Structure 1
Amino acid sequence: MKEIKNDVLKQQLINQSDYKERFSAEVLEDTRLFQVDAGGYIVEEGQSPVWLFYLVRGRAKLYATLPNGRVSLIDFFSAPCFIGEIELVDKHHEALAVQAIEACWCLALPIKQYRATLLNDVTFLRHLCLALSQKNYRNIVSLTRNQSFPLNNRLAAFILLTQHGDVYHEKHTQTAEYMGVTYRHLLYVIAQFTHDGLLLRQKSGYVIKNKQALISMAKEMAPNHSFSDLFN
């Protein structure tokens, strides 16, 4: 992660993301701009974030290392959204890892300096409550889909959400756990996708060869989702 000292670009991203409208307090003077490459960490696991991030471009994933050493994929973030808001509200909360799926751009405020201000900012708290309720609703919908749709549809959506540069390369063990299926079942469906020409296996992962087929399967489960917007 690196800080980008470009006031013109920062102001452009502030305007495009409605960042200023998320606060009633004056925050622009201390707002910084950071860029995180694909695979880089916005938040390191177990390290309390120094910044309250507002993701304005890009996608990221949230995961945790369990006591038995297994890595569990938990959720996905898409711009625009706050990252680090739980640690802002509860400074004793142990941070989970947030890793960029693609290049991410974040506006940021120093948490220590702004904690008291933001926790008394009605506008910020209203937006935060709305964001948390939407996240909770999304998790409920995801659980319902896992119980109601076959793996083909769910895996198609998962591949679209996690691909970067038309390449899917998530670890099979983490994917199987996140999808709630056996490792063997996951490999069977991926092999079927490969056989049908949707994916092409390479050393770097699986190249997406038929985006429209994956989008069609994913939309059977989530018709209102614009999966095509995930591709650059």
Structure 2
Amino acid sequence: MNITEQRIKRLISHFHLSDMDLDDSVVLRFMPGELILQEGRDMEYFLLVVSGKAKVCSASADGKDFLLCYYISEGIIGDVELMTGSHIANATIRAVTEFICIGLPYRKYEEKLKQNLLFVNDIGRELASKLLRSSKKSVITALHSCEERLCAYILFTEQEGFFLETLADTAKSIGASYRQTFRIINTLCRDGVIRKEDRVYRIVDRGELLSRTPDFYLE
């Protein structure tokens, strides 16, 4: 996927950064499965998302990952850290599809970004939106079955009609046991919704998969 200079300028303008000296900004491209941020580690870049999907997870005390959300298309990574004055990533972010960002060296641009009132307003709206989505998802996730969460996860992470995630990672991401996840995968295969091909799964009946997914997960 090519990223044009015009697209970069449009994104920078969208976040009211056109008047800033961004000579040290870089375009970063992550491939599926590649680590973007590691929870607990120093942040090198503040990121403006150009395109792609990435899963955002937080680790529990016992070392298990819990899926928080996805960044899809445009967005900001590092807004929480910026506004709390932290240089440490508060979540782990990993690319699901090819993921493209504009990276601003965090320590160099930190104060400049905070002094940009229009940008800070953008940050406020972004954080408010994330809070609302997170609160709503926490409630709805608690009310939906493992099968519904798994179907949503398959749709979010699919790549050209294939589900490539391991069952172990999938179970951790949707908050289910490996045994539950394995059983539901087998049910989806038996019902003709997906089909196992070697070590991956092909989506066979997308309509049925969608029907088993809560609408909220597709917003």
The alignment's TM-score, normalised by the length of structure 1, stands at: 0.80
**Equivalent residues, number:** 216
1:3 aligned partner: none
Alignment partners' CA distance in 1, 2:174 and 2:218: 19
2:145 aligned partner: 150
Cα deviation, residue 174, structure 1: 4.3
Report the AA paired with residue 25 of structure 2.
Answer: T
* 3-state SS in 2 of match to 1:19: helix
1:184 aligned partner: 179
Alignment partners' CA distance in 1, 2:159 and 2:6: 25
2:133 aligned partner: 138
- Is 1:86 aligned to 2:80, yes or no? yes
* 3-state SS in 1 of match to 2:153: helix
Alignment partners' CA distance in 2, 1:69 and 1:150: 23
Q: 102, 109, 121: which one pairs with 1:107?
A: 102
Report the AA paired with residue 70 of structure 2.
Answer: F
Q: 195, 210, 215: which one pairs with 1:215?
A: 210
Alignment partners' CA distance in 2, 1:72 and 1:207: 25
Contact map agreement 1:56 1:105 (CA 8 A) in 2:
yes
Cα deviation, residue 15, structure 1: 4.3
Q: Flag the 1:141–1:95 CA change in 2: closer, same or farther, 3 A.
A: closer
Alignment partners' CA distance in 2, 1:31 and 1:134: 26
Contact map agreement 1:43 1:49 (CA 8 A) in 2:
yes
Q: Which moved more, 1:105-114 or 1:203-212?
A: 203-212
1:206 aligned partner: 201
Structure 1 residue ranges (4+ consecutive) displaced by more than 4 angstroms after TM superposition: none
Cα deviation, residue 165, structure 1: 2.8
* 3-state SS in 2 of match to 1:156: helix
Report the AA paired with residue 141 of structure 2.
Answer: N
Contact map agreement 1:20 1:28 (CA 8 A) in 2:
no
Alignment partners' CA distance in 2, 1:95 and 1:224: 23
The alignment's TM-score, normalised by the length of structure 2, stands at: 0.84
Alignment partners' CA distance in 1, 2:93 and 2:55: 6
Q: Which moved more, 1:122-131 or 1:170-179?
A: 170-179
After superposition, where does 1:5-154 map in structure 2 within 5 Å? 9-16=3-10, 18-24=11-17, 25-89=19-83, 90-154=85-149
Report the AA paired with residue 203 of structure 1.
Answer: D
Q: Deviations over 1:98-139 (max 9, x none)?
A: 111011111121111111111121111111111111111111
Q: Flag the 1:82–1:163 CA change in 2: closer, same or farther, 3 A.
A: same
Q: Which moved more, 1:120-129 or 1:61-70?
A: 61-70
CA RMSD of aligned residues (A): 2.6
Cα deviation, residue 27, structure 1: 4.2
Alignment partners' CA distance in 2, 1:154 and 1:70: 17
Contact map agreement 1:88 1:115 (CA 8 A) in 2:
yes
Q: Flag the 1:58–1:42 CA change in 2: closer, same or farther, 3 A.
A: same
Alignment partners' CA distance in 2, 1:144 and 1:169: 28
2:162 aligned partner: 167
* 3-state SS in 1 of match to 2:160: coil
Alignment partners' CA distance in 1, 2:90 and 2:217: 32
* 3-state SS in 2 of match to 1:185: helix
Gaps of 5+ in 2: none
Contact map agreement 2:43 2:88 (CA 8 A) in 1:
no
Contact map agreement 2:37 2:89 (CA 8 A) in 1:
no
Q: Flag the 1:61–1:216 CA change in 2: closer, same or farther, 3 A.
A: same
Alignment partners' CA distance in 1, 2:150 and 2:217: 17
